[in-house]
């Protein structure tokens, strides 16, 4: 009798262990499935952004007269921007080093047009939205200054993105300044030829002595980048 109870207990224990094992296995499978499912959902909602640092390589942009290269400021700012948005977006850079892009275009045209054509091709292929980074110049008036955000006139979404960035620039960069960022309609190639919402941000005037200094200052560049990234994130949240 005692033996039978003992054998029965062992059998029961074996059954219990088997059921427990089965239960754990099911839990594990559900967990793996859920993670995969969440990843699929997350990725299908993940926005892709193209960051386009203007100029590069043979094309140094504006500023040479002052011994400063626009292409370097653009790249520096764009790389800082990448760091701030890469948690929330899949980021593609049109360039992440000091190069021009004409070699990436099959267009039979001038170096300048080939470079722009390559940029728009990358943006159209990899972007749900894009930002081009540039430095401005006013050769006729050294007092001209300020951040300007350009969008294509008929693109309502680009206009929203531009205003979203402006709001943050005014808050973060111009906090203690009467100056405000300007949103401007413009028929630039990169704005016209691209199929997703996007803006071109001129982060300051190299011809203005104050902004020339600011654009070489890390703190200012971080403020600019912070405001652009916040503007992009706020826009993306609303447009989801």
Listed in order, strand segments (DSSP E) in the chain are 47-53, 89-93, 129-136, 148-151, 182-185, 198-205
Residue 201, burial from CB neighbour count under 10 angstroms (0-12, 13-18, 19+): buried
Cβ-based nearer residue to Zn ion, 61 or 231: 61
* Angle between helix 70-85 and 218-239 (nearest 10): 50
Q: Is 204 in the site for Zn ion (CB under 5 A)?
A: no
Residue (190 or 236) nearer to Zn ion, CB: 190
The nearest distance, CB 144 to Zn ion, in angstroms, is 15
136 vs 230, beta carbon nearer Zn ion: 136
Q: Least CB distance from residue 62 to Zn ion, whole Å?
A: 6
Residue of closest CB approach to Zn ion: 134
* Rounded-to-integer distance, Cα 116 and Cα 114, Å: 5
Per-residue binding string, Zn ion, 113-152, x by CB under 5 A, is ---------------------x------------------
The least CB distance from residue 52 to Zn ion, in Å, is 11
**What does the alpha-carbon distance between residue 182 and residue 224 come to, in Å, rounded to a whole number?**
14
Please compute Rg for the chain using Cα positions.
27
Q: Does 61 bind Zn ion (CB under 5 A)?
A: yes
Of 39-58, which residues contact Zn ion (CB under 5 A)? 54
CB-side neighbour CA atoms (13 Å) of 206: 21
Decide: is 197 part of the binding site for Zn ion (CB under 5 A): no
Residues 154 and 75: their CA atoms lie apart, in Å, by 28
Q: Which is nearer to Zn ion, 224 or 236 (CB)?
A: 224
154 and 193 Cβ atoms separated by less than 8 Å:
no
Q: How far is the CB of 191 from Zn ion (least distance, A)?
A: 13
Minimum CB separation of residue 180 from Zn ion in Å reads 22
Residues that bind Zn ion in the complex, under the rule CB under 5 A: 54, 61, 134
């Amino acid at each position: 009798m005692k033996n039978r109870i003992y054998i029965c207990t062992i059998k029961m224990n074996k059954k219990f262990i088997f059921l427990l094992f089965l239960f754990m296995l099911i839990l594990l499978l559900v967990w793996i499935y859920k993670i995969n499912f969440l990843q699929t959902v997350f990725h299908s909602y993940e926005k892709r952004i193209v960051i386009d640092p203007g100029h590069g390589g043979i094309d140094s942009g504006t500023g040479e007269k002052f011994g400063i290269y626009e292409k370097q400021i653009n790249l520096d700012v764009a790389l800082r921007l990448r760091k701030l948005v890469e948690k929330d977006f899949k980021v593609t850079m049109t360039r992440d080093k000091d190069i021009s892009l004409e070699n990436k275009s099959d267009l039979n045209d001038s170096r300048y047009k080939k470079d722009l054509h390559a940029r728009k091709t990358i943006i159209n292929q990899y972007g749900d939205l894009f930002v081009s980074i540039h430095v401005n110049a006013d050769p006729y008036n050294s007092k001209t200054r300020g951040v300007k955000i350009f969008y294509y006139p008929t693109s309502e979404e680009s206009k929203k993105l531009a205003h979203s960035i402006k709001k943050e620039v005014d808050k973060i960069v111009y906090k203690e300044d009467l100056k405000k960022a300007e949103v401007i309609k413009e028929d630039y190639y990169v704005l016209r030829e691209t199929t997703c919402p996007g803006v071109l941000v001129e982060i300051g005037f190299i011809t203005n002595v104050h902004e020339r200094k600011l654009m070489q200052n890390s703190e200012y560049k971080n403020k600019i980048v912070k405001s652009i990234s916040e503007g992009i994130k706020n826009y993306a949240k609303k447009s989801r």
